[in-house]
A and B are shown apart, each in its own frame.
Chain A
Amino acid sequence: EADIYQTPRYLVIGTGKKITLECSQTMGHDKMYWYQQDPGMELHLIHYSYGVNSTEKGDLSSESTVSRIRTEHFPLTLESARPSHTSQYLCASSEVGTLQETQYFGPGTRLLVL
Chain B
Amino acid sequence: EDQVTQSPEALRLQEGESSSLNCSYTVSGLRGLFWYRQDPGKGPEFLFTLYSAGEEKEKERLKATLTKKESFLHITAPKPEDSATYLCAAFSGTYKYIFGTGTRLKVLA
* Complex CA distance for A44 and B91, rounded to whole angstroms: 14
> How many chain A residues touch B (Cβ–Cβ < 8 Å)?
28
Those of B26-85 within 8 Å (CB) of chain A: 31-32, 34, 36, 41-46, 49, 51
Which residues from A are CB-within-8-Å of B46? 2, 102-105
* Complex CA distance for A107 and B102, rounded to whole angstroms: 17
Q: Which of A35-43, A61-69, A71-79 touches B?
A: A35-43
* Complex CA distance for A73 and B36, rounded to whole angstroms: 23
* Complex CA distance for A99 and B32, rounded to whole angstroms: 8
Contact A33 B49 (CB under 8 A): no
Which residues on B are within 8 Å of A, measured CB to CB? 4, 31-32, 34, 36, 41-46, 49, 51, 87, 89, 91, 95, 97, 99-102
